[in-house]
Chain A
Amino acid sequence: MKKITLSAQNLIKRYGGVVALANGNLSISSGEVLALVGANGSGKSTLGKIITGVVQPDGGDLHVDGQPVRLGSPQVARRLGITAVYQELSLIADMSVTENIWLSHEPRRWGLVDTRQMDRHTETLLELFAGTVSPNLQPSTLIGELPPDEKQVVEILKALSWDPRLIILDEATASLDSRQVARLFELVARWQADGRAVIIVSHRMEENYRVAQRATVLRGGEAVADRVLADTPTAELVQLMIPDSAVRVKKTAADDELTQRPVRLAVNHLKTKRLKDISLSIRDGELLGIGGLRGQGQEELLRALFGVVPYEGEVRVSQKDVHFKHPQEAIGHGVALVPGDRGTEGLLLSRSILENLQLPSWAQYGRILNMKSARSDAQAAGRDLRLKMGALSDPVSSLSGGNAQKVVLGKWLLRSPKLLLLNDPTKGVDVGAKGEFYQILDSLRAAGTAVLFYSSDDEELLWLCDRILVMHDGGVSAELHGEHLTHANLVAASMGSVGSMENHV
């Protein structure tokens, strides 16, 4: 195996006004396993995508084997021996395991794809995971028929099929079971001995310590530290991941008064395919935060409570036992969900602001719609939200991200919900609009609305919430409130490292 060294210096990546990576630095060479760690939005995935040529940086240098390179596309990176196991898998459901693994580098004979050789190579690759996957996983099986863990295995083998010098494992273990993880880590050790370089990104802190020797810590898009893991306790690494903002003392005076209020939502032992036994309760006028790294089941929880995802367990809304099977039932009980992806779930982008605001409420304007009162209600809502807009008849697509998000919120406020579920509502929203959004939340809370608030922005959660549930791997890893409501605890619980949390409640 030809040796490889890769170093990235001062990489910058902006998406519109949002800086995903401000100062990305990293270096690795053959025979090394490097962990890339950081909190939500610290730029881990972006850095990984730049190294594999999927995303183009706006600035900075990349050197491979000492030579400056420009990785203009995945093919270029591939040619240099760099491949990745992507978090959002790059597999095609209607094609077979073999076709997926060898896609774009099929072995050929006389210009035609040599299927026999391809199947043989696939079998060799599949043997690497033999015993940890079901006998169904054959070269000819269609990807669409595989469960998530086996798809992940195929994605790993696909990266390996390029015989890479550098492999990036971006949350490759998230959907694997423990036997498969153990097998993968045996393989990583073998790759290391072969002289390959491996970069691992994992939300499980324990895994980083298990396979990596060194860790590069990212914080707010900047590489802030490079540590040898054997000499660095978990607590120190977690501390490095936290932005050094001033510690804020939470106003908890309202706590006593709050406990007198009625419980709006009580959840007991809620389970879905992804969620493991979730229990929680919110009182009127309470803002309960849900934290943790992205994709730990937070969205699924909100969607289950809104009747989108089927679930088992006990849910009580306003002291009544309910089991929502359709959002319509949830809406009927005064529940509203502000979705995270406003482009696809929350808004009809090409339709007017008026239509979007009134979409869930048309029923109250009669069979032949009373447009006059609909318009004046919408106008009032727009004022309350401080919506910066031209006319109500303008399409939502004419609004800025922050203002569009206010429309998503506004359309539910017009129905005055009793329980508001927020799914990462400020993602990609500029700072000014965020501030106004927080004020709206405050006034809602003052009006007695119970709010369940998932956010991938840790600081925002710490700033707004009295109580935070931290989710990890589909379960609640910690409930933080009062003096325990610190960033260090939040990050530690996000990583599932309960050991370092003596104040775990």
Chain B
Amino acid sequence: MNLEIIRRPFNRYFLRHNPYLFALFLLLLSLAINYFLQPNLFDLRVLNGNMRIFLPLMILAAGQSIVVLGGGIDLSVGTVVSLVNAVLITNLARESGPVEVLWAIALGLGIGLLAGAFNGLCVAYLRLQPIVTTYATSFIYSGLALYILPRPGGAIPAELARLYRSTPASIPFTLLMVVLLLLIWKLIRATRFGTFLYALGGDAEASFTTGIRVSRMRLWIYTVSGGFAALSAVALTLSTSTGDPRIGESMTLDSIVAVVLGGTRLSGGYGGIAGSIIGVAILGTIRNIISFANVPTWWQTLVDAVIIVSALAGPGLIKLLRRGS
């Protein structure tokens, strides 16, 4: 029986141990279709334009994956983006200097971490259900965002917007940020926090008996998620150059869809951030395809949803077929 693992063909072994594989396949497929409809897809200008839109959700999905890997879920991330966006825009103006910019970003980050820590306290120490807790706290954050910035508006220094769009050495700045994100993840993965994260999501009870401080870990996980949401808000603010107290709302569910598309198990303990980043790219490409395929506007949401549902069902269908044979 044990020899089976050795005899199993290499590619099946590889399949089982690479959570991103299906996501990569989907990405290549959607990119191919997108390229067919939009031949200049890989032009620097078009690539840069796409990446500018994808980056905020990629950062957000990265934070969401950390929560999901640890066995939780965070439904407040989108409203934290709105809140931090509101904070940034009220502390920035077209003529802000570097000091003011750094101050605004530090403030935004701090608020994101605080919002995450509040979620963490509720989940870890008050033992509330993550899905309900973070849904409830999302109203606090969106209320605060509306209080700080009652209506859309505001501006940021032009240099900041230009930095975000820049392409040093013909590589989009945003793509460099993705590489940085992956490096940070690799670093997190190499720390104890990274190991504990997978252990906690894999089996909380066994983690406890092994001596992991489960509550403290949960607090950290949600705090980190809040931090990623704040970073996402920074990227989003640079991208849109303005403020909107509802801007992040639709991003929460997108972040979860991206995590699942990327092969991370929703109950935790299996997967990774790279998959979620691929997931966002898939989502974005699908939306490109829909807009280039001349789908009538009133069909767009439906087509979008159908594609996403079939993409989500993909791995399960493959498993079902394999069991059948």
Contact residues in B for A134 (Cβ distance below 8 Å): 2-3
Are B1 and A147 in touch, CB under 8 angstroms? yes
| Contacts A136-B2, A147-B2; A74 near B210 (Cβ below 8 A) | yes
Contact residues in A for B17 (Cβ distance below 8 Å): 142
Report the Cα distance A103→B210, complex, angstroms.
7
> Which of B101-109, B117-125, B201-209 sits within the interface?
B201-209
Contact residues in B for A80 (Cβ distance below 8 Å): none
Are A104 and B210 in touch, CB under 8 angstroms? yes
Shortest A266–chain B CB gap in Å is: 32
Report the Cα distance A54→B214, complex, angstroms.
13
Shortest A97–chain B CB gap in Å is: 13
Are B206 and A90 in touch, CB under 8 angstroms? yes
Interface membership of B6, Cβ < 8 A: yes
Shortest A100–chain B CB gap in Å is: 8
Most chain B CB inside 10 Å of its own CB: which residue of A91, A115, A158: A91
Contact residues in B for A99 (Cβ distance below 8 Å): 195, 198-199
Most chain A CB inside 10 Å of its own CB: which residue of B6, B187, B196, B210: B210
Report the Cα distance A106→B212, complex, angstroms.
12
Report the Cα distance A95→B269, complex, angstroms.
8
Are A113 and B206 in touch, CB under 8 angstroms? no
Contact of B192 among A78, A106, A158 (CB under 8 A): A106
Are A92 and B202 in touch, CB under 8 angstroms? yes
Contact residues in A for B196 (Cβ distance below 8 Å): 103-104
Counting contact residues on chain B (CB < 8 A from A), the size range is 20 to 34
Interface membership of A89, Cβ < 8 A: yes
Report the Cα distance A99→B210, complex, angstroms.
12
Are A93 and B211 in touch, CB under 8 angstroms? no
Are A93 and B202 in touch, CB under 8 angstroms? yes
Are A108 and B192 in touch, CB under 8 angstroms? yes
Report the Cα distance A86→B192, complex, angstroms.
23
Contact of A92 among B2, B5, B194, B206 (CB under 8 A): B206
Are B269 and A94 in touch, CB under 8 angstroms? yes
Contact residues in A for B191 (Cβ distance below 8 Å): 111-113
| Contacts A92-B202, A113-B195; A75 near B207 (Cβ below 8 A) | no
Shortest B268–chain A CB gap in Å is: 9
Contact residues in A for B203 (Cβ distance below 8 Å): 90-93
Shortest A503–chain B CB gap in Å is: 40
Contact of A145 among B5, B195, B212, B269 (CB under 8 A): B5
Report the Cα distance A93→B202, complex, angstroms.
7
- Taking CB as reference atom, which chain B residue is nearest A137? B2
Report the Cα distance A286→B204, complex, angstroms.
44
Contact of A104 among B2, B190, B212, B269 (CB under 8 A): B212
| Contacts A113-B191, A136-B2, A147-B1; A94 near B210 (Cβ below 8 A) | no
Shortest A89–chain B CB gap in Å is: 7
Report the Cα distance A92→B211, complex, angstroms.
13
Q: List A residues 76-94 near B (Cβ within 8 Å).
A: 78, 86, 89-94
Report the Cα distance A174→B196, complex, angstroms.
29
Report the Cα distance A113→B269, complex, angstroms.
18
Interface membership of B270, Cβ < 8 A: yes
0/1 per residue, B67-93, Cβ < 8 Å to A?
000000000000000000000000000
Contact of A95 among B190, B192, B199, B208 (CB under 8 A): B199
- Taking CB as reference atom, which chain A residue is nearest B19? A94
Are B209 and A90 in touch, CB under 8 angstroms? yes
Are A94 and B5 in touch, CB under 8 angstroms? no
Contact of A103 among B2, B3, B6, B199 (CB under 8 A): B199
Most chain A CB inside 10 Å of its own CB: which residue of B5, B202, B270: B202
- Taking CB as reference atom, which chain B residue is nearest A73? B211
Q: List A residues 344-369 near B (Cβ within 8 Å).
A: none
Shortest A398–chain B CB gap in Å is: 22
- Taking CB as reference atom, which chain B residue is nearest A86? B209
Contact residues in B for A89 (Cβ distance below 8 Å): 206
Are A103 and B195 in touch, CB under 8 angstroms? yes
Q: List B residues 209-225 near A (Cβ within 8 Å).
A: 209-213
Report the Cα distance A134→B1, complex, angstroms.
10
Q: List B residues 1-57 near A (Cβ within 8 Å).
A: 1-3, 5-6, 17
Shortest A130–chain B CB gap in Å is: 15
Contact residues in B for A54 (Cβ distance below 8 Å): 209
Q: List A residues 53-79 near B (Cβ within 8 Å).
A: 54, 73-75, 78
Are B209 and A92 in touch, CB under 8 angstroms? no
Report the Cα distance A21→B263, complex, angstroms.
46
0/1 per residue, A110-137, Cβ < 8 Å to B?
0111010000000000000000001110
Most chain B CB inside 10 Å of its own CB: which residue of A86, A104, A115, A135: A104
Report the Cα distance A167→B210, complex, angstroms.
14
Report the Cα distance A89→B202, complex, angstroms.
13
Most chain B CB inside 10 Å of its own CB: which residue of A90, A94, A106, A135: A94
0/1 per residue, B169-204, Cβ < 8 Å to A?
000000000000000000100111011101100110
0/1 per residue, B254-287, Cβ < 8 Å to A?
0000000000000001100000000000000000
| Contacts A94-B269, A94-B270, A147-B2; A74 near B211 (Cβ below 8 A) | yes
Shortest B38–chain A CB gap in Å is: 39
Are A75 and B211 in touch, CB under 8 angstroms? yes
Contact residues in A for B213 (Cβ distance below 8 Å): 75
| Contacts A103-B210, A104-B196; A113 near B190 (Cβ below 8 A) | yes
| Contacts A78-B211, A92-B202, A92-B203; A106 near B195 (Cβ below 8 A) | yes
Contact of B5 among A78, A93, A136 (CB under 8 A): A136
Are B209 and A74 in touch, CB under 8 angstroms? yes
Shortest A49–chain B CB gap in Å is: 9
Are A90 and B198 in touch, CB under 8 angstroms? no
Report the Cα distance A392→B66, complex, angstroms.
45
Report the Cα distance A90→B206, complex, angstroms.
4
- Taking CB as reference atom, which chain A residue is nearest B208? A74
Shortest A185–chain B CB gap in Å is: 24
Contact residues in B for A108 (Cβ distance below 8 Å): 192
Contact residues in A for B206 (Cβ distance below 8 Å): 89-92
Shortest B66–chain A CB gap in Å is: 16
Report the Cα distance A61→B195, complex, angstroms.
36
Other A-B pairs, 10, CB within 8 Å; known A99-B195, A105-B211: A54-B209, A90-B209, A92-B206, A94-B269, A104-B192, A106-B195, A108-B192, A112-B190, A113-B191, A158-B210
Residue numbers of B with Cβ under 8 A of A are 1-3, 5-6, 17, 187, 190-192, 194-196, 198-199, 202-203, 205-213, 269-270
Q: What 4 A-B pairs have minimum CB-CB distances, sorted nearest first?
A: A92-B202, A134-B2, A90-B206, A104-B211
Residue numbers of A with Cβ under 8 A of B are 54, 73-75, 78, 86, 89-95, 99, 103-106, 108, 111-113, 115, 134-136, 142, 145, 147, 158
Q: Can you name 20 A-B pairs with beta carbons within 8 Å?
A: A74-B209, A74-B210, A78-B211, A91-B203, A92-B202, A93-B203, A94-B198, A95-B269, A103-B195, A103-B207, A104-B212, A105-B211, A106-B195, A112-B187, A112-B191, A113-B191, A115-B190, A135-B2, A136-B6, A158-B210
